């Protein structure tokens, strides 16, 4: 029997060790990302656990709520394909720095 925790992603149970939690602004920009499973350190198996990981104090949680931040799970593959180096939407992205 497999007793690894799972997370529902797009209606499918996904092993928590293949999950990345994203904290996103209303426009879609990624504010924070965290792997859901680090052996012997943490397991973020629910959106509430992930939100508390991103915003550790009550004040931080109030500010995140007021800013409209949301928390969602995605697979590691989707993170690599869609977000890895592109956290910002077209409005908030900036050109890469050029050497002086």
Query: Given this model, what pLDDT does residue 1 score?
Result: 39
Crossing angle for the helix pair 58-66 and 47-54, nearest 10 degrees? 110
How does pLDDT run across 10-42, given as a tens digit for each residue?
A: 999 999 999 999 999 999 989 999 999 999 899
Q: Residue 96: which pLDDT band, with cuts at 50, 70 and 90?
A: low
Token pair belonging to 41: 């350190």
Instruction: Provide the whole-model pTM.
Output: 0.81
- Residue ranges covered by each domain of the chain: 6-83
How does pLDDT run across 38-54, given as a tens digit for each residue?
A: 998 999 999 999 999 99
């Amino acid at each position: 029997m497999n007793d690894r925790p799972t997370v529902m992603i797009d209606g499918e149970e996904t092993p928590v060790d293949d999950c990345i939690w994203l904290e996103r602004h209303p426009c879609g920009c990624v504010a924070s990302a965290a792997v859901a499973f680090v052996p012997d350190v943490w397991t973020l198996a629910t959106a509430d656990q992930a939100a508390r990981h991103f915003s550790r104090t009550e004040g931080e949680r109030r500010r995140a709520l007021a800013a409209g931040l949301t928390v969602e799970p995605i697979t590691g593959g989707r993170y690599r394909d869609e977000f890895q180096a592109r956290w910002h939407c077209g409005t908030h992205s900036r050109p890469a720095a050029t050497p002086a």
